Amino acid sequence: DVVMTQSPLSLPVTLGQPASISCRSSQSLVHSDGNTYLNWFQQRPGQSPRRLIYKVSNRDSGVPDRFNGSGSGTDFTLKISRVEAEDVGVYYCMQGTHWLGTFGQGTKVEIK
Amino acid sequence: QVQLQESGPGLVKPSQTLSLTCTVSGASISSGNYYWSWIRQPAGKGLEWIGRIYTSGNTNYNPSLKSRVIVSMDTSKNQFSLKLSSVTAADTAVYYCARGGYSKSGFDYWGQGTLVTVSS
């Protein structure tokens, strides 16, 4: 199985400041069809997960443009340009290139 | 807008079978070439994919749960279901249904989740 490793696991941030979460995979996530299936999910406290980003850098409908995904191969990053109170929660990366898909452990974002 | 809603007993006794249903609105589970999945999350822990069913009815399961899981669909009611047998306390979790198959772009719509507790 492909192992997804997120860091940090806990991320205290100041409102209005940027935040960055790293996600590394144990194998390249480039699919045979040429796409890289690395996705990001946000789970606010008490809520269901919500997909933010798919295929590395594509924002889902309604996702604020302060969320940006980047990366390639085995190294990926989710950046929040200016953290807002509503961004508190746990963020998961997930690879869908290799069967069986894999979630990262999650990164908890909290306000300092 | 696609919406999913889980339903089923919130309490199941050890060794019995957990049964949940996901009712889908805003999309047909029998068309559109989508997978429909079950995912669970124990309190304070991460996400674990359980299994999926395709538009055609084909299923795939997490190898760690495969011997105990059945996912099925009822197209007349636009629902898909989960059965997890021989449950133990370790199966206590919030169970989510979602559109997507734990592959490629993951899950784009999720239900609100339902807590299932395994206890006598």
At A5-41, the pLDDT tens digits run 999 999 999 999 999 999 999 999 999 999 999 999 9
Q: Are A11 and A17 in contact (CB under 8 A)?
A: no
Closest residue in B to A48 (Cα) is B112
Q: Which residues are registered as beta bridge partners of B62?
A: none
State whether B103 and A35 contact (CB < 8 Å). no
Identify the pLDDT of residue A65: 96
Q: Which of B26, B30, B76 is nearest to B53 (CA)?
A: B30
Chain A residues touching residue B106 (CB < 8 angstroms): 37, 39, 41, 51, 54, 94, 96, 101
**How far is B106 from chain A, CA to nearest CA, in Å?**
6
The percent of residues in chain B predicted with pLDDT above 70, rounded, is: 100
Beta strand A19-25 with A75-80 is antiparallel
Does B32 score more than 90 pLDDT?
no
The percent of residues in chain B predicted with pLDDT above 90, rounded, is: 93
State whether B105 and A105 contact (CB < 8 Å). no
Using pLDDT thresholds of 50, 70 and 90, give the confidence band for residue B102.
confident
* Average pLDDT estimate for B1-18: 97
Closest residue in A to B111 (Cα) is A48
Identify the pLDDT of residue A63: 98
Q: Return mean pLDDT, chain B.
A: 96
Identify the pLDDT of residue B15: 97
Does B101 score more than 90 pLDDT?
no
pLDDT in tens, B49-87: 999 999 999 999 999 999 999 999 999 999 999 999 999
